Amino acid sequence: MRTNEDLHQNQNAHSEHSPNAGSPAGQTRRQFLSRSALGLAALAGLGLTACQTKGGATAAKGTAKKVDSVDGTFQYEKVFPVLNDNEAFDDSLVTNQLNSFVCFAGQGTVYVKSSEPQSFALFVNGHQVPTDKLDGSSWNQIDISDVTVNGDNRLQVSTVKESQATFEVKIGYPTLIDGTKDYADNDNFKLIDQIINAEIANGFTSAQLVVTRYGKIIKKTNYGNVNSYNKDGSRIKDGKAVDDNTLYDLASNTKMYATNLAIEKLVTDGQLDVSKKVQEYIPDFKDQEGDKILGKNDLTVREILEHQAGFPPDPQYHNRNYNPEKPDDPQPNANQKLYSQNRDEILQKIIETPLQYVPGTKTAYSDVDYMLLGFIIEKITNKRLDQYVKEALYEPLGLKNVTFNPLDNGFKADGIAATELNGNTRDGLITFDNMRTDTIQGTVHDEKAYYAMGGISGHAGLFANASDLAVLVQTVMNRGGYGNTMLFSEDVHDQFIKPKDTNVTYGLGWRRKGHIGYQWAFSPIANAETVGHTGWTGTLTVIDVYNNTSLVLLTNTKNSPVIDNKVDPNDFVGNHFLTGGYGVVSTLAFDGLDDANAEGNNAKLMDMVIAKYKLIQAKPDYQTDPDKASLKALLEVCDQRKDSKVIKDFQASDLYKTISQFVGK
**pLDDT digits over 641-660, tens only?**
999 999 999 999 999 999 99
The residues with which 80 forms a beta bridge, in sequence order, are 167
Q: Which of 309, 429, 403, 323 is nearest to 357 (CA)?
A: 309
Q: Quote the DSSP letter at residue 313.
A: S
Q: Could you report the per-residue pLDDT of 447-481, keeping only the tens digit for each?
A: 999 999 999 999 999 999 999 999 999 999 999 99
Strand-strand pairing, 216-224 and 177-178: parallel
Using alpha carbons, select from 339, 372, 369, 362 the residue that is nearest to residue 452.
339
- Report d(CA 301, CA 308) in Å as an integer: 10
* Mean pLDDT across 209-222: 99
Average pLDDT for 341-346: 99
Could you give the 3-state DSSP secondary structure of residue 154?
strand
Rounded Cα–Cα distance for residues 456 and 434 (Å): 18
Q: 3-state class of 148 per DSSP?
A: coil
Report pLDDT for 594.
Answer: 87
Gap between the Cα atoms of 544 and 123, Å rounded: 29
Sign of CA dihedral 448, 450, 452, 454: positive
Determine the Cα–Cα distance for residues 318 and 408; give it in Å rounded to an integer: 22
Average confidence (pLDDT) over 552-564:
99
DSSP string, 549-603: EEEEEEE-TTSS-EEETTTEEEEEGGGGSTGGGSHHHHHHHHHTTTT--HHHHHH
Residue 511 in contact with residue 518, Cβ under 8 Å? yes
Torsion sign over Cα 371, 248, 572, 585: negative
Domain ranges within the chain, ordered by starting residue: 41-72+76-171, 249-512
Count other Cβ atoms within 10 Å, centred on residue 664.
8
Share of the chain above pLDDT 90, in %: 88
pLDDT tens figures, 369-412:
999 999 999 999 999 999 999 999 999 999 999 999 999 999 99
Q: Please choose, from the candidates 141, 137, 142, 143, the residue with its C-alpha nearest in 3D space to the C-alpha of residue 165.
A: 137
Query: Which residues have C-beta within 8 Å of that of residue 199, sequence separation ≥ 6?
Result: 577, 578, 579, 629, 630, 633
Q: What's CA 589's distance to the chain center, in Å?
A: 16
Q: Is the pLDDT at 530 greater than 90, yes or no?
A: yes
CA separation for the pair 305, 15 (Å, rounded) = 13
Helices (H), 61-209: 187-201
- Summary count for the chain: helices (H), strands (E): 16, 23
Q: According to the model, what pLDDT value does residue 21 have?
A: 41
Three-class secondary structure of residue 78 per DSSP:
strand
Residue 57: band (very low, low, confident or very high) from pLDDT cuts 50, 70, 90 = low
Reference 663, options 202, 339, 32, 212; nearest CA is: 202
The DSSP code for 257 is: I
pLDDT of residue 2: 39
The separation between the first and the last C-alpha atoms of the chain, rounded to the nearest angstrom, is: 24
**Which residues face 151 on adjacent strands?**
103
pLDDT, position 231: 98
Nearest of 657, 662, 655 to residue 625 by alpha carbon:
662
Please report, for residues 189, 194, 557, 583, the alpha-carbon distance to residue 221 in angstroms, rounded to integers and kept in the order given.
10, 12, 17, 17
Query: What's the rounded mean pLDDT across residues 105-122?
Result: 96
What fold does the segment set 41-72+76-171 form as a domain?
Jelly Rolls (2.60.120)
Residue 49 has pLDDT above 70, yes or no: no
Do residues 483 and 171 lie in contact, with contact meaning Cβ atoms separated by under 8 Å?
Answer: no
CA distance 391 to 387: 6
- Lowest average pLDDT, out of 13-22, 361-370, 403-412, goes to 13-22
Closest CA to 313 of 665, 10, 99: 10
Burial of 284 (0-12, 13-18, 19+ CB in 10 A): exposed
User: In this prediction, what percent of the chain has a pLDDT beyond 70?
Assistant: 91
Which of the four pLDDT bands, split at 50, 70 and 90, describes residue 328? confident
- The whole-angstrom separation of Cα 16 and Cα 19 is 10
Question: What is the homologous superfamily of the domain 249-512 according to CATH?
Answer: DD-peptidase/beta-lactamase superfamily (3.40.710.10)
Q: For position 14, what pLDDT does the model report? A: 32
**DSSP character for 536?**
T
Higher-confidence residue: 3 or 392?
392
3-state class percentages of the chain: helix first, strand second, coil last, to nearest 5: 30, 20, 50
For the stretch 64-111, pLDDT in tens is: 999 999 999 999 999 999 999 999 999 999 999 999 999 999 999 999
H or E stretch covering 630: helix 625-640
Confidence band, pLDDT 50/70/90 cuts, at residue 38: very low
Angle (CA) 317-319-322 rounded to 5° is 100
In the DSSP assignment, the letter for residue 298 is G
Q: Please report which helix (H) or strand (E) contains residue 657, including its range.
A: helix 654-663
Phi, psi of 142 (to 5 degrees): -115, 130
Q: Are 417 and 411 in contact (CB under 8 A)?
A: no
Collapsed DSSP state (helix, strand, coil) of residue 181? helix
Residue 463 pairs with which residues in a beta bridge? 249, 403
For the whole model, what pTM was predicted? 0.91
The vertex-464 CA angle with 404 and 423, nearest 5°, equals 65
What distance in Å separates the CA atoms of residue 12 and residue 462, rounded to the nearest whole number?
31
* Spatial CA neighbour of 25 closest among 265, 269, 263: 269
* Closest alpha carbon to 222 in 202, 238, 200, 237: 200
User: Per-residue pLDDT for 436 more than 60?
Assistant: yes
What does the mean pLDDT of the chain come to? 92
Q: Tell me which DSSP letter residue 354 carries.
A: P
Question: Strands, E, within 236-367: which ranges?
Answer: 248-249
Q: How confident is the model at residue 13 (pLDDT cuts 50, 70, 90)?
A: very low
